[in-house]
Structure 1
Amino acid sequence: MMRALLTGNGPSAKLIFPMLPRLITTALCGFAVANALAEPPPSTIDLSKFPAAAVEDVVVPVPSEIFIVLDKLGTPNWKGELRDNLGTNTGNRAQIALLLGTVIADGFIAVEAEDSEKVKQIGQEVLVLADGINVRKAVIARSKSITDKAEAKDWRAVRSELDGALQDVRGAMQELGDDELAQLVSLGGWIRGTQVLTSIVGQNYSPAGAELLNQPELLNYFARRIDEMRSRNLKKEELVVKVRKLLRDIKPIIGKDTITVENVQKVNKLTTDTVKAITSEDQ
């Protein structure tokens, strides 16, 4: 959910994320949010000056460092962002992949909310959805570990296991030749993460917080991956078409020097509608 740079072309392209300063970046390795809050809130967020880290082909949904920046910009109500209904598995593989991405994203939110019961629920849901796309074996151990670590309120470890679960799913799907479906998992996570980001920033607007939406290269990357899908049937899936339209509709809204509160709210409405479509039983 940060401004991204792309190197290379086609399926082998690498996605480059500008990462946050050292103190914030270490959150991905498990540092507590409280450590980051010791620093004063930044008056601006100059993403162009952050050191970069490469993530090949896939985007980790809702990176922890984004949450820490939001914490520095205010006091997010993480519990208020959690959903009662995580969605319904309809049996449609595209829908399951997108839904799995949104659920993993909710796992990160539940960690920030320190809601152990929600984390455990999400751990079980990840297992169920993984079964729906034939990668259950890849996440059985992760699911149990997520539940155990949440019970112990070891939030650092839970965050690490959620990161690992995403990578395990991606690896297993690639082994099955489902690279394009794996991309939908990433897209689902990004959509849900952007919904939460815009909700939080919209409630306590600041130009610095809104700058986290300034990610046109990332939108281009996702759009290109859909456009280059080899499977025509997958590309024509109703939900995939809706996601492609979402990317197209968001791009001009965030392509501004300053992203206004009105534009933050527009992106929130678009992503909220898409998350509802992903979680609907009608797909």
Structure 2
Amino acid sequence: MMFTISVPKPGLVRFSHDRTRCLQKFDRTNSVWSMKMEPKFSHNRKIEELSVELPAQPHPPHLESSRDRALQFNRGQPSDKDLDPDDVFEFGGYVAREAMCDEEYWTAAFLRAETHWEDRNRDRYVESHLRKYTDQEFNEIKKRRNVQFGNKCRCIVAMKKDSKDVKRPVLKSMVGTLDLRTRHLVGGETFPEERVKPSNFGSFRMTRSNRYGYIANLCVSKPARRQGVATNMLHFAIKQAKLDELERVYVHVERKNKTAQDLYKKMGFQMIERATPQLEEKQLYLLCLEI
């Protein structure tokens, strides 16, 4: 089986001389890869459960591992002069942009862990699992940032804006996060996670026409809820999807989560009416936005 994959050229990461901030610049170009796969190739994905029932503002963690000691949780946000105006979206007292350094990836991971466990009493059992979940998601965020077979992932964050009188560290600035992932429909699929007959799988080209965006891991801290943070992060994500020349963006939503459904419908997402057995089993809806 032969895959032909069109992918953007990876960005270059530049660090300042004092290593207190990191900037990313991306060049857009296309290259073509060819890859041989065994005919017994199978395609399995994990579907993220999305929710707008969101977590509390994270508190500074107890640092234990050597890796944690390397993270500088008192690191300040980059200044306005370090940010390209085209790469940020300001709203109210916040700004949405792509995460830029390990401290921001870790805080995004912790915010997602808080979302996952926020309805549980915080005992030693929950605390240990929260820590494990954070470490796993931190590593996954960093892994997903690398372009792999034409797929990539942007970790988008919403941050409180600094003022002349108030300078906040990263850990106390982040109020929201989501992932915007670039994926490809595989042979026989007309939308993500569609079950197709094995005979439909064969040689196919990963081209711009079958690329799509996928929203996952949307969460907002408790103090920042109902202030338009989720809506404006989605606005920014859709803008980035357009810059990536994607034609549509998908999201899975729990069927019982009416709040999330209303949010995405307000943004222009429409439900895919053809429910697959997989969606019915997992009690999910699939929504799509044409851009």
- TM > 0.5: no
Bigger fraction of residues in helix: 1
- Relative contact order (C-alpha < 8 Å, sep 6+): which is higher? 1
TM-score with structure 2 length normalisation?
0.29
